[in-house]
Amino acid sequence: MVEALEKRRYPRAKAPKGLIVAWEVGTQRSVSFIENLALGGLFIRTKQPPPVASPLGLMVQAPTGDFRARGIVRRVTPSQGMGIEFVSMTPEDRARLNKLLAPLLVK
């Protein structure tokens, strides 16, 4: 059997230990650990993810500077977490994300 290759616009990096994100969807608010991240999105570990296509607000607390983004749930793994695609972010927040990712993507 041949496995399908994942096609991603940006490479993913394993999140530094303890990296957290505050997120909200509708009236639900939560804080969760980030499993991995990229310029295009991130995977958040949570036992109760909202449904696919849910829009959410994000604030990542990073050592290189906090950043905010708007995202949409693209994938849900029940009882484990959700894959989020970034849909909007200010240039300043994008720069903070780049600063966080740069050393993580060096091979």
| Segment 61-99, tens digit of pLDDT | 998 899 999 999 999 999 999 999 999 999 999 999 999
How sure is the predictor about 5, in pLDDT bands with cuts at 50, 70 and 90? low
Sign of CA dihedral 65, 71, 75, 78: positive
| Nearest alpha-carbon partner for 60 in 27, 104, 103, 16 | 16
100 conformational bin, left if phi > 0, alpha if psi -120 to 50, beta if neither: alpha
107 or 78: which leads in pLDDT: 78
Run of H or E including 96: helix 91-105
Give 35-48 pLDDT, tens digit per residue.
999 999 999 999 99
The angle subtended at Cα 94 by Cα 9 and Cα 82, nearest 5°, is 55
Mean pLDDT across the chain: 92
pLDDT on residue 73: 97
**Rounded mean pLDDT of 7-31?**
92
pLDDT at 104 over 60: yes
Which CATH architecture is the domain 13-105 placed in?
Beta Barrel (2.40)
The Cα 68–Cα 60 span in angstroms is: 6
* pLDDT at res. 2: 47
